[in-house]
Structure 1
Amino acid sequence: MVFSETANTTTKLRVVFDGGNGRPKNISLNEELASGPPLQNDLPSIITRWRCHKIAFTDDLEKMFRQVMVCDEHQKFQCILWRDDVRKNISIYKLRTVTYGTTSASYLAIRVLRQLARDENSEFPLASNIFLNDSYVDDITSGTDSITDTIELHQQLSNLSKRGGFNLRKWNSNSNELMNVIPPENRDNADAYKLKDENFVKALGLYWEISEDHLCFKLNFSFASTVTKGSMLSDAAKLFDPLGWLAPVTIVAKLCFNVCGKKILIS
């Protein structure tokens, strides 16, 4: 297993393990692991429900995978060989928690989250329903139609998360009242809910303009001097549009493709 280093807005350095890396003629760790049945909720359904709420919010579970313990007998499959100097002996470390980058990571983490929601449903019914229906891996996207209900939901979600050893952070909302009750350290940005010229946050792969409360798409086209079918296809594929809102535009690019007189079917 090898690892790489990445960073984001909340973590300066993040270690990502590559369970699919294997030496030539040898199998990788991921080839030996079962992925488990798919448990992710339907993304278009989550987005549609989210946009039906008057007061909307997003947040995520901090280091979700690392909060889930792997049973003792399986920890031996997550070993790391390490040494600081080639002249020193190799040390062996076992990763005790679910490791991002392995085939089974998503299933294990989501399965634990679902079990937590079921176990604590009697005490946190609103939050349990959100965990079961409005979560996508570690992202939670939901809302209500009144500030009273939203604050109650925020409290239940925070308490339910703590009950399982998780921490909800990176809160964003189109409601100033909700953001005022959230501790600054758990907000995505202390000023994210204030009116600004450009106030975009990512929500399930889309861009949410909070102050105006609408969704946007970020264009990242190359605009090469020579336009080819390949470059057009590449640019069209860069647009993440799970609900097909941009279909009237993107279909024009897709209809331009024709190889040897035969149409290419692009789903």
Structure 2
Amino acid sequence: MYRQIRLQPDNTRYQRIVYRGSQNEELMDYELLTVTFGVNCAPYLAIRTLFQLADDVSARWPLASKVLKQYMYVDDVLAGAHDRETAIQTRDELIEALKGAGFPLRKWTSNTTSILAGLPKEHLLKEEFLNIDDLSEAKMLGIRWNAAQDAFYFNVQHIQVRPSYSKREVLSCVAKLFDPAGWLGPIVVKAKILMQDIWLAKIDWDDSLPRNLYLRWEQFLNNYRYIGEIRVPRWIHFTPWDEIEFHGFCDASEKAYAAAVYVKIRERNSDSVPYINLLVGKTKVAPVKTISLPRLELCGALLLSELINTLLPQLEISQPVVYKWTDSTIVLSWLKKPPCSWTTFVANRVAKIEELVGSSGWNHVDSADNPADLGSRGAWHGPNWLTKEQSQWPLHEKDIAFNTELEQKTTRVHATSVQDYEDILDRFSDFSRALRVVARIFRFYKRALPTHQQTVTENQSELTTEEIRGAKALGGIPGSEKKTRVQIMAALPPERTELTRPFANTGIDFTGPFDIQFHPTVKMVRVQPKNHQNKKATNRCPVCSDNHRLVFCRELRRMEAAERLRAVLVHHHCANCLSPHHMAKTCPSPKSCDRCQQRHHSLLHVGEQGRDGGGESIVLDNDTTARRKRQPYTAKASGESSDDEVVLILDADETDLH
């Protein structure tokens, strides 16, 4: 076949040989023009050429195109049909399609003489096929086929039993067992197990086998000759209009595990007994490292999944019905849950099974009825209950719930408890200083952590406002409320431990005394903090002690302008809205004087002609903005001497009046 495929002229220079007919001739350099044996790409080029030929002839010879794509094995054609007419038409199309490409077909063989009729005798495999008998045999893919019986069989050579065998001789005999479909699984697996034990014995290639291994090999040879008597029918009684089911079985032992796929054929709308035949099988020896039997059963289930996934795409069945059977309830329990529920070994194989054939459709079968058992129970035709109705089958997967904790993945939880928690604020006497220390710790953390190094670009020494706020929010530092509530001496009243503005709650033992400077000729005025009164009496007038606001006080309105201003300032009321708790500069009210549009209340407006008719005027030496310069307010009455002067100095921060 290779010699019938011509290369492109540009590629022939890569196939050069040196040759001469005799020693007297001169060496000549030749270029091979066709595909050559021994080149690595030769099989690919041959198969790829057939695929291209199938595409080229698909419109003219569709049957031949289908055979070239699906039933070609390098240079052998293994194909068939469900009736003679289709088979003859396929034969003729193949001959014409391959003949036009330079591939004449030879060695024809069939189980029906009418298909071979009309072909030249020299094109047949043997002339005996024109009269099919027991001698009409052919060999394909290492397996022999008898045309008369339409069955496959194995031709094995007799091996004489000798007193001793070496490891090399045993390996040579085992390698001669060619079983691509797995029909000899129960026999081949015993030879595999024996070879594994020979390797574990660590004997040399030419050393004789130990006594125990020799006896096992002798028993194998005594049964070896019966392999030639095995017959596997080629036709499984399948036609496109029949009902077909696939049943896969898997089993395992301590030495090996196996899988087998059976096909069940029943005539549609008929009560006849179905035909059950073995399609394929596969066996593997257990690993040398000892593992548990449930794990080996799971390996058998995986082997069955791989076998089904490889077989079904090769069959022309659109929606195959597949049943999967195992005698391990633990494996069924593993397949019921997601792979993440189990340990690594089990999880990997369960995930692979779900990927190949899915986790549904698995059923339980008794060990005695499992044909995949490494014994010979039902090796060729499956268990007896397969021929019965589905209601008489073993327990179905939905009829019982299997559950196991074997190989279940354990969830580890780490719990920690902190005892004797130390508050970082206990190390500092100043909350702001503690906050800055924590902010610098967070700065170091962000600059040292690789994930934050790209975001830190500045190399400044001073802390920013964002860093301080972030330290307070993310540092787990208690608020300043906790620090102020920690008392060194006796417990203080609640109104003196709340966080408020400076001088809202005062006391001699809390924030110290405050100084009052006044003129010696003026009667001393008592100054009270603005939040000194009870919360229930926040609307009590400081002038008449009645329950109303200062702006509605009749006594205040009867006062002269100077006395009115003095009362507002002494009682710490706002000169703009006459409300307590804040001063004029921080007054939220947008109102102003109705007469001069200045920032004070209309009741406090004074000028050359006061509205009280006294002709007095009030002069403020320093307006409300002067308190940022820490200058005292000085209130003077123009009608009095300059000695009648009141000066108030309050020890407060810059947000209060000075």
TM-score (norm 2): 0.30
Distance 1:224 1:105, change over 3 A: farther
Provide the residue aligned with 1:168 in structure 2.
Answer: 105
CA distance in 1, matches of 2:4, 2:145: 28
* Residue 243, structure 1, aligned to residue 181, structure 2: yes
* Aligned equivalent of 2:306: none
Which residue of structure 2 aligns with residue 28 of structure 1?
A: none
Q: What is the aligned partner in structure 1 of residue 121 from structure 2?
A: 184
For residue 185 of structure 1, report the CA deviation from its aligned partner.
2.3
Q: 1:104 to 1:224 in 2, by over 3 A?
A: farther
Pair 1:90 & 2:27 matched: yes
Q: How does 1:109-124 map to 2 (within 5 A)?
A: 109-124=46-61
Amino acid at match of 1:177: S
Deviations 1:136-188 (A, max 9, x none): 11111010011111100000111111222211111110001111122222211
Aligned residue in 2 for 1:157: 94
Unpaired runs of at least 5, structure 2: 203-254, 257-283, 287-658
Cα distance in structure 2, aligned partners of 1:132 and 1:227: 46
1:170-249 to structure 2, matched below 5 A, reads: 170-220=107-157, 222-223=159-160, 225=162, 226-249=164-187
The letter of the residue matching 1:90 is L
1:244 alignment partner, SS class: coil
One-letter code aligned to 1:88: E
Post-superposition offset of 1:132: 0.3
Of 42, 57, 75 in structure 2, the residue corresponding to residue 138 of structure 1 is 75
- Equivalent position SS for 1:227: coil
Give runs of ≥4 in structure 1 deviating > 4 Å.
261-267
Task: Determine the C-alpha separation between the residues in 2 that align with 1:159 and 1:203.
Answer: 23
Given the superposition, is the C-alpha separation of residues 104 and 266 from structure 1 closer, same or farther in structure 2, using an over 3 Å criterion?
Answer: farther
Per-residue Cα deviation, 1:96-145 (whole angstroms, up to 9, x for no partner): 11112211111111111100101110111111011001101111101001
**CA deviation profile, 1:31-56 (whole Å, cap 9, x unmatched):** xxxxxxxxxxxxxxxxxxxxxxxxxx
Structure 1 partner of 2:12: 75
| Structure 1 vs Structure 2 CA RMSD | 2.2
Are the equivalent residues in 2 in contact too, given 1:83–1:89 (CA < 8 A)? Answer: yes
Specify the alignment match of 1:106 in structure 2: 43
1:51-90 Cα shifts (integer Å, max 9, x gaps): xxxxxxxxxxxxx111111111111122221112223211
CA deviations on 1:213-248 (whole Å, 9 max, x unpaired) are 111112135435223444333212112111100011
Distance 1:237-1:266 versus aligned 2 partners, 3 A rule: farther
Alpha-carbon distance between aligned partners in 1 of 2:84 and 2:120, rounded to the nearest angstrom = 17
The structure-2 alpha-carbon separation of the partners of 1:135 and 1:229, relative to structure 1 and needing over 3 Å to count, comes to: same
User: In structure 2, what residue type is equivalent to 1:247?
Assistant: G
Choose from 118, 123, 129 the match for 2:66: 129
CA distance in 1, matches of 2:52, 2:174: 39
Question: Does residue 256 of structure 2 align to residue 256 of structure 1?
Answer: no
Query: Which residue does the alignment assign to 1:38?
Result: none
Q: Which amino acid aligns with 2:25?
A: K
Rate the CA distance shift 1:222–1:81 in 2: closer, same or farther, 3 A.
farther
> Matches of 2:43 and 2:160 in 1, distance apart?
36
Residues 232 and 221 (structure 1 numbering): CA distance in 2 closer, same or farther, change over 3 Å? farther
DSSP-derived class of the 2:67 partner: helix
Which one has the largest radius of gyration?
2
AA at the equivalent of 1:250: V
Query: Residue 93 of structure 2 aligns to a residue in which SS?
Result: helix
Do the aligned residues in 1 keep the contact of 2:189 with 2:285 (CA within 8 Å)? no
Task: Tell me: CA distance 1:210–1:193, structure 2 relative to 1, closer, same or farther (3 Å).
Answer: farther
After superposition, the C-alpha distances for 1:188-235 in whole angstroms (9 at most, x for unaligned) are 112234234433211122111111111111213543522344433321
Query: Residues 162, 221 of structure 1: CA spacing in aligned structure 2 closer, same or farther, 3 A cutoff?
Result: same
SS of 1:181 mapped into structure 2: coil
C-alpha separation in 2, matches of 1:143 and 1:235: 34
Given the superposition, is the C-alpha separation of residues 182 and 253 from structure 1 closer, same or farther in structure 2, using an over 3 Å criterion?
Answer: same
User: How many angstroms apart in 1 are the aligned matches of 2:22 and 2:200?
Assistant: 58
3-state DSSP class of the match of 1:255? helix
**Comparing 113-122 with 78-87, which one deviates more in the overlay?**
78-87
8 A contact 1:193–1:210 mirrored in 2? no
Q: Matched residues, percent identical?
A: 34
Unaligned runs of 5+ in 1: 1-63
Query: Alignment partner for residue 147 of structure 1, among 81, 84, 89?
Result: 84
How many Å separate the matches in 1 of 2:152 and 2:37? 29
Write the distance in 2 (CA, Å) between the matches of 1:103 and 1:224: 41
For 2:51, the aligned partner's letter is R
